[in-house]
Chains A and B, each alone.
Chain A
Amino acid sequence: MKKKRYAIVLDTRRCIDCKACTVACKAENDVPLGDDKFRNWVSEEPLRGRYPNLGQSFAPSQCNQCENPPCNSVCPTSATGITAGGIVTVNPDKCIGCKYCMLACPYDARYFNEETGVIDKCTFCIQRIAVGRIPACVETCPTKVRTFGDLNDPNSEVSLLLAKNRYRVLKPELGTKPFLFYLI
């Protein structure tokens, strides 16, 4: 069987900033309470125009599961690694909580979990993938902004979406090779 490469495709035009994804992620992954503790987030983009001609977009985001993750190379204990499916993970046994990776991540996707004493981040809900379920944020999203799947499968929903639509990734200039794709 071919190796899998997981990705999430986001159609932000459908995002209503309801933050279901954020709460779902916190509950699913036991992310501690605290408004600086989260694996995913939705930013309100700045208001465009002036009253009464206004526009606004909402931008959901999380770890990009980069192919070249800068967080990986700075980790002094090799706690950060890339697992099957291309998912960037933190091994809690090796992590010493030095936070170098938090600074290195250009997407600010990591936080320090005081309850476990280690760095934590989005894992595409690896525990759900393992039992054949899709990530919590993807499943719960009311307007189906998010689509999850295997980019190595040309017939997966994510592959089809990227074949059919124009898209962009965040900060491509950094050469991180992100696997969150935003449709335009």
Chain B
Amino acid sequence: MIVYTCEDSFEAILTCIYDAWASGLGHRNLKLMVEPVGNLELFCEYRHVDPDSTKVESVIRSIHKKISGYAYQMIFRCAMSCSSEKADIIYRFLLLGFHYGRQITDMVQLPPVLALFELDRAVGNEAHYFREFIRFLNMRGNVLVAHIEPKSDVLTFLAPPFQDRMPSENWMIIDDNRKSAVIHPSDQDFYLTTLTEEEFKRLKTLEDPDDPYIDLWKGFFETIAIKPRENYRCQRSHIPLWYRKHATEFQNPLP
């Protein structure tokens, strides 16, 4: 078994797919994995692939031409997933996709298609949850800052809806785990960037813990529930504990 491995980026994954395809080894004899590879297996040969923009372009063009733009979007979302299987799932999907063409995205009865759909849904759901549950803190200077710790790399999906929502505000969303951020200066387009440890720390000091709207919101949130209908399990199924970490209304409840 030959295992093609690459770093965890969209470009690297597509390059990896290109190389695996071009190897002519036969699809049954190879596998794709994103690094770091967990348990190395004895009878496998690992081949690391570096991203190559010409190959990336060629794969993107083929997806658009032979399958559809819709399929491309799904693949892009899947590539942002935290699953270690994602490169292989995309690869298996493309094998079928290049064969069946556009209709492949209706063929959910095929396991590799289903696998891609499920991955896509997981990433889409996570991005949507953060769109609902992220909370901005008001910083001195009227800049809004939100922190998230997502499993998948959802920043690219979060930024456009917030740019539409608050086009004339200064805001940023920070992925605490990846130390990456989208920054949106008022009336301009957002951009992605990475933060150094110092920048990260400096931002913390600018937060305004006395923002009066924090308590107003908590008060509202507690009041709005109807006692005789109290149902914590239902609440938990909608807003899992894991998403509450940065949600204002779940931090230090009012006395």
A binds B: no
